[in-house]
Chains A and B, each alone.
Chain A
């Protein structure tokens, strides 16, 4: 009896301390956001239950969502959320927040609830707004960020300073998120250790790059990239259901995003990805269409889109096979990476050959700089008009620019820079503003598209 009491005492004492020893070592991070749902993921050093406590007040995380079983990899979907609403949340199997003293001063309550490292931290996110109506939206775009070096951090910090208190509604990684091989360790150090704040507050969307592809396989939907991300294969975030996380679509307010797998999925004209793309373009009713994939249609940076052998012909395929369909579908903006530079086109259409076939008179639809404070914004009709022109942006220098001189002379581009940096898209109703920030904090390019 005495022994039993001792065992009981030990277990009572040991229980909380064992739980407290469980540490969140990855995330939390947000995936597959919809106006009414959010996937929260995180990793712990020890197995435990997957529980998210959440609510609309920081000190009242009264609702819980959980997934079955115990694991070190936690994936919990929060459902029945309200659109465009800020939610506070904390992850972990144990009760996370000490009750806040209601009589404490406001400042003390705030301090008590401040985000802190480890399992007891409270984070927040805002659900996407209802699909369709416009809402001012900020999107951060990072191409080829995953170098883990000082440049990647400088690019990050420049954006943090730029956006300051303006929330990032969503962010996009254009592939090569984690060098050199896209392994789990690479992802930890190049993504999760670099962007912890943004990961836990803004949903991240991604596309497979060639370096991610070293540890992943699109056909079998296996490997690190597919383990790390939860992407909307079921069409649950908008668009037509692709059935795969390799290529997918999602909506945010009045924007339709299309993610294509230029690296590892079938890029043939009658392949599944193309069939899906055509159906998705035909189905969308959003004002804006933004397509993103890893391999650029045009570049003269660290890669050359004129060379058939470069990148296994993927750039040719995306330009000659996919770009005509995107342009026919009325795409407004094409975002790519892979080439570690910044290159931005005029409003162009119909150029599917090598650079020596580019004819400005034919392919440049509007030849101004696109700057409201310069020669004027690009203007497009609001009605969906095939082949009215898109801006093509290679923004693949969020981890590093080229260390060697590069040609940067593709005639499709209005501006080409061998500078590290990231891009910011602000959409407000019928206006889309694009900004490129270099790693020194300089605003190096900007343009506006207005729909009227």
Chain B
């Protein structure tokens, strides 16, 4: 894979499940537990938090914390160390401890590269979307080609009702990334309102990264749900060609044709599916799934539906 470096040279993970949450339509609910009123009390609470968090942590996190704590003791005014420690806490969902560290980093170096993005990610994780947007705007002001900040801002904008802005951010991020995974393209399709636009965006994704199964399946689902029968049939042909086992896709083809009232063609598809099952090696043909599928296909092909319209 071609290397990708964000503008700060760092790689940060997204908050856990941001993308699954985006895909399912809303961000996970996390409760922000406190605001820190003054620097002195912030530091006191931070110290307390660090201690309790470390007690709860796993061995490798404890080790990483120990290293960072030592480094911070040696260089208490190094903002980068607080940012790193905040990121470590954020990765393990210790939001309050993360925030305390980010605040300290911000006190020491308000324009520290990566800080605004991390604060935006944290605010997104705690559902403070307006705050997240402000931080991410700042991050992108500092570094307009920060793909991860753009992707995070998609979450903030969509949550605040700006679907178009989210889509624009996602498009911009996708242009910056050399090898984006299918999840980003699935999210983009979801942001399109019109089914035809969603399908077009998925086809564009397929053209870019190849016919990934999940992209094709999503396009097929949209085509089937919206009655784009011939498009869906072409998609099913592609899926069947790419699969070692075609019977599932041929059966689905038959179901689609049947729903569309094209019964003769449906029968042909069911017969082809049955033939595909029969071509399987015996040990696979004898598996319970295959036996059940063959029985269903036999029932469907032995029926005598009206001729095709």
Contacts and interface: CB of A to CB of B under 8 A. Distances in A.
A294 to B, nearest CB: 13
Nearest to A183: B11
Nearest to A238: B244
Contacts of B64: 180
A217 interface: yes
B44 to A, nearest CB: 25
Contacts of A226: 1, 4, 179
A211 B59 CA distance: 12
A276 interface: yes
A240 B209 CA distance: 14
A280 B217 CA distance: 13
A96 interface: no
B183 interface: yes
Interface string B182-220: 111010000000000000000000000111111101000
Interface string A220-251: 11111011011001110000111111100000
Nearest to A180: B64
A264 B214 contact: no
B20 A312 contact: no
Given A265-B183, A310-B58, A384-B289, A284 B244 contact: yes
A266 B20 contact: yes
Interface stretch (A50-58, A267-275, A355-363): A267-275
Nearest to B182: A243
A385 interface: yes
A284 B67 CA distance: 46
Interface in B7-28: 11-14, 16-17, 19-20, 23-24
B242 interface: yes
Contacts of B67: 180
A235 B287 contact: no
A267 B24 CA distance: 12
B242 A272 contact: no
Range of interface residues on B (Cβ < 8 Å): 35 or more
Contacts of A282: 245, 248
B213 A243 contact: yes
Interface residues of A, number: 61
Contacts of B248: 282-283
B140 interface: no
B260 interface: no
Given A227-B1, A385-B288, A217 B213 contact: no
B211 to A, nearest CB: 6
Contacts of B280: 285
Given A285-B284, A384-B287, A271 B1 contact: no
A221 B13 contact: no
B243 interface: yes
A128 interface: no
A285 B3 CA distance: 35
A318 to B, nearest CB: 14
A383 B181 contact: no
B177 A276 contact: no
A410 B181 CA distance: 36
B23 A275 contact: no
Interface string B236-258: 00000011110010000000000
Which one of B59, B60, B248 has the highest number of Cβ atoms from chain A below 10 Å of its Cβ? B60
A201 interface: no
A408 B287 CA distance: 36
A172 interface: no
B151 interface: yes
A73 B211 contact: no
B34 interface: no
A243 B151 contact: no
Given A221-B179, A283-B248, 15 more contacts: A219-B181, A229-B1, A241-B210, A241-B213, A243-B209, A243-B214, A244-B183, A268-B24, A270-B24, A271-B20, A272-B182, A283-B244, A310-B58, A383-B286, A386-B287
15 contacts: A219-B151, A220-B4, A222-B4, A223-B4, A266-B17, A266-B23, A266-B183, A267-B20, A272-B183, A284-B244, A303-B58, A309-B56, A312-B92, A383-B287, A404-B59
Interface of A: 73, 179-180, 210-211, 213-224, 226-227, 229-230, 233-235, 240-246, 264-268, 270-272, 275-276, 279-280, 282-285, 287, 302-303, 309-312, 330, 382-386, 404
